[in-house]
Amino acid sequence: MTDKFIKCVDIVLQNEGGYVFNPADPGGETNFGISKKSYPDVDIKALTRQQAEEIYFRDYWSKLPFEQVTPDQLALQLFDMSVNAGSKIAVKILQSILKVDKDGVLGGDTLEAIQRYENPVLLINLYIDARKDFYKGLANSRPALNGFLRGWINRVKNTQF
């Protein structure tokens, strides 16, 4: 595990919190954001922080080139969105801002577009706003999820070093 990952996963774990079993949550039983639906063989209630970190490193961080995303604040936002809504959605939102092919793959074209972006702070802020818009659209299109909207918006606001 890298220093950048440790820095980012600390924030993600703060956002995710501990054990929750909310019947309205499509993921069902969760702990540290790890859901029973996604990990049916994991004892969610007994899951430790270290085990959650290992899952996030193996199944999220290592699957995308987050180490190559700079600034680190953008990597954190992208990682947090990947954890919460899926990597393809997280990357497509970024690709939409960058005006590159929206294939959901964080590959060379997208990484180059990030590096070419003239104002990194603006890019981060645009991504933050796009995350909020995504969650608002999700809550509007699926009223059963409307109760999660405030938490999602707070999550985005709290996703910073």
Number of domains in the chain: 1
pTM, to two decimals: 0.94
Q: pLDDT at position 8, please?
A: 98
- What whole-number distance in Å separates Cα of residue 51 and Cα of residue 34? 10
Q: For the segment 90-131, what is each residue's pLDDT rounded down to a tens digit?
A: 999 999 999 999 999 999 999 999 999 999 999 999 999 999
CATH of the domain at 107: 1.20.141.10
CB-CB contact of 87 with 96 (8 Å): no
Backbone torsions φ then ψ of 160, nearest 5 degrees: -155, 155
Q: Alpha-carbon distance 157 to 19, whole Å?
A: 22
Tell me, what's the pLDDT at 19? 95
Task: Compute the average pLDDT of residues 81-91.
Answer: 96
- Does any domain span residue 27? no
Per the document, the length of the chain is 161
Q: What is the pLDDT of residues 5-64, one digit of tens each?
A: 999 999 999 999 999 998 888 878 999 999 999 999 999 999 999 999 999 999 999 999
Decide if 28 is inside a domain. Answer: no
Residue 31 lies in a domain: no
Dig out the tokens for 5 from the structure: 């990952």
Query: What is the number of H-type helices and E-type strands within the chain?
Result: 7, 2
Q: Span 81-96, mean pLDDT?
A: 97
- The domain of 90 spans 3-18+48-158
